[in-house]
Amino acid sequence: MLQQSEVVIHDKLGEGVRLLMPQGIIGFHELKHYCFNPINNGDQPGVFWLLQSHEYEKIAFILLESNALKDRVEVDLKDLSTMAERYGIQVEACELFYVTTIDRSDSANKKVTVNLRAPVVIDFGQQHAWQVILPDSKYEINYAL
């Protein structure tokens, strides 16, 4: 499984890592430049991160660290091999995150899910990221948290 970063990637909230996403995010292919910031849990970074577009600041995605689910679900590195070859990615040097969706209804019990089938792979060393689609249906699109 991909490893969680042990490097502090920001000094202050709002000063995140700039990432280039050559293919963009699904449905937002024209947006290529993003800023990656922690969503703090009190004084400490939590397991959620904000991926915000530089080109259109109203577009942002909440990402969940894959390690937050390592006891429940794990992406097999073999399933990432085709994608890695296509983009020239060294998978072992990357980190994996899941796009999070929060129910927008007025219900008090909001449903939060993550997309396991289309994770975001980030190479912090090169400051590049890719959203990939895993072909195996064993990865749920709306995995409930």
Alpha helices in 43-142 (DSSP H): 77-87
CB neighbour burial string for 91-124, b if at least 16 within 10 angstroms, e if fewer:
beebbbbbbbbeeeeeeeeeeebbbbbbbbbbbb
Q: What is the CA radius of gyration of the chain?
A: 15
Q: For the domain 17-144, what is the CATH code?
A: 2.30.290.10
- Which tokens sit at 122? 């980030």
Please write the tens of the pLDDT for every residue from 98-133. Answer: 999 988 777 777 889 999 999 999 999 889 999 998
Segments making up each domain of the chain, as ranges: 17-144
Nearest to 118 by CA among 79, 90, 86: 79
Q: State both tokens at 74.
A: 């794990």
- Model confidence, pTM: 0.83
pLDDT in tens, 45-93: 789 999 999 999 899 999 999 999 988 988 887 888 777 777 777 877 8
